[in-house]
């Protein structure tokens, strides 16, 4: 059965614990052209705020790996994105991400899918919530 | 917070020249390997003129307008954008301009409205950042 409104409320298991390393923070900061920001350097580095997408993205895989939903990453467009941070991600944090499907709106062969991903440390401390609307464009039957 | 913000304050903008190499670097850093960001045929299958920048990449770049000013990126508490137009990145690259203005200060939180333009076209809509001012 392809994705439908019936999937609203579905949650997936949390992703495997992920350690935020200094090297990964540096790599992400470099990709954003802000290697020179001292906040992203040293032993007490924090991650750029949108680094949360590294974790959220791993959780989004739950959607595309679920054969029941019939979704393809290559046919998916990002419509909107919101992050709410309780605190920044820091070097040395061990975090995992848990995805919930909040809403599904089917339109023709496509579907608007609203998901939220909760990021928390493995000790259970909430860090951020990433909420997204995705548009999956189906293939005409 | 090392800097004072005031309502109506225009933050310094910047222009960046995005190349295919930048998209590949962001794909690796973010873990988003959606082929529409590096494969012409995958982009064409979605009716796009060429590969497009990751929306999250544009979102991440735009936030620099704020983080370059406030000093502590950890003060950002909320960030929302709508991806209103794709950012096509042909072989020769694409110039994207970013800007921001402080729209509100209340309860120790400053709200900044961000703008991202490709030529004269806005590529982010309703882009809003909230920053804690303590």
pLDDT in tens, B71-113: 899 999 999 999 999 999 999 999 999 999 999 999 999 999 9
The predicted structure's pLDDT at residue A139: 64
- The residue of chain A nearest to residue B80, with distances taken between CA atoms, is A82
Averaged pLDDT for residues A121-131 = 97
Averaged pLDDT for residues A43-65 = 95
pLDDT digits 0-9 by tens, B41-55: 999 988 899 999 999
Q: Which of B28, B55, B38 is nearest to B118 (CA)?
A: B55
Distance of CA A82 to the CA centre of its chain: 10
Please classify residue B83 by burial: count the beta carbons closer than 10 Å to its beta carbon, then call 0-12 exposed, 13-18 middle and 19+ buried. buried
pLDDT at B17 over 80: yes
Buried b / exposed e along A91-101 (16+ C-beta atoms within 10 A): bebebbbbbbb
| B32: contact with A, CB 8 A cutoff | yes
Under the banding of pLDDT at 50, 70 and 90, the label for residue A74 is confident
pLDDT at A141 over 50: no
Averaged pLDDT for residues A78-88 = 97
| B98: contact with A, CB 8 A cutoff | no
Q: What percent of chain A has pLDDT over 70?
A: 97
Flag if B30 and A31 touch (Cβ within 8 Å).
yes
Chain A residues within an 8 Å CB radius of B67: 34, 37, 39, 48-49
Q: How many CB pairs under 8 A join A and B?
A: 108
**pTM tops 0.90:** yes
Rounded to whole angstroms, how far apart are CA atoms A97 and A99? 7
Rounded to whole angstroms, how far apart are CA atoms B46 and B49? 9
The DSSP letter of residue A46 is B
| B85: contact with A, CB 8 A cutoff | no
Averaged pLDDT for residues A98-102 = 97
Averaged pLDDT for residues A94-100 = 97
Q: Mark out the alpha helices in B8-109 (DSSP H runs).
A: 20-30, 40-45, 55-62, 64-70
Q: Which of A65, A32, A62 is nearest to A47 (CA)?
A: A32
The DSSP letter of residue A112 is E
Averaged pLDDT for residues A106-111 = 91
Min Cα–Cα distance to chain A from B9, Å? 22
Residue B105's CB is within 10 A of a number of other CB atoms, namely 16
Min Cα–Cα distance to chain B from A141, Å? 16
Averaged pLDDT for residues B63-69 = 95
């Amino acid at each position: 059965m392809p994705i439908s409104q019936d999937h609203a409320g579905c949650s997936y298991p949390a992703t495997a614990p992920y350690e935020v390393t200094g090297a990964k923070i540096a790599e992400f900061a470099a990709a954003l052209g802000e290697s020179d920001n001292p906040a992203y350097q040293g032993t007490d580095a924090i991650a750029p705020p949108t680094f949360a997408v590294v974790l959220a993205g791993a959780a989004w895989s739950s959607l595309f790996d679920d054969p029941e939903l019939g979704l393809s990453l290559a046919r998916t467009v990002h419509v909107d994105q919101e992050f709410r941070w309780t605190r920044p991600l820091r070097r040395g944090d061990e975090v995992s991400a848990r995805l919930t499907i909040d809403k599904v709106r089917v339109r023709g062969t496509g579907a608007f899918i609203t998901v939220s991903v909760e990021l928390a440390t493995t000790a259970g401390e909430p860090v951020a919530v990433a909420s997204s609307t995705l548009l999956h464009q189906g293939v005409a039957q | 917070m090392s800097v004072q913000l005031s309502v109506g304050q225009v933050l310094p903008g910047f222009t960046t020249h995005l190349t295919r190499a930048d998209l590949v670097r962001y794909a690796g850093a973010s873990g988003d390997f959606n082929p529409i960001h590096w494969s012409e045929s995958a982009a064409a299958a979605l009716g796009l003129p060429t590969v497009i920048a990751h929306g999250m990449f544009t979102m991440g770049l735009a936030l620099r307008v704020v983080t370059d000013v406030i000093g502590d990126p950890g003060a950002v508490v909320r960030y929302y954008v709508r991806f209103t137009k794709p950012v096509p990145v042909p072989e020769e690259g694409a110039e994207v301009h970013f800007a921001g203005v402080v729209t509100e200060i209340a309860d120790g939180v400053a709200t900044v409205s961000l703008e991202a333009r490709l030529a004269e076209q806005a590529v982010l809509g309703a882009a809003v950042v909230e920053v804690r001012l303590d």
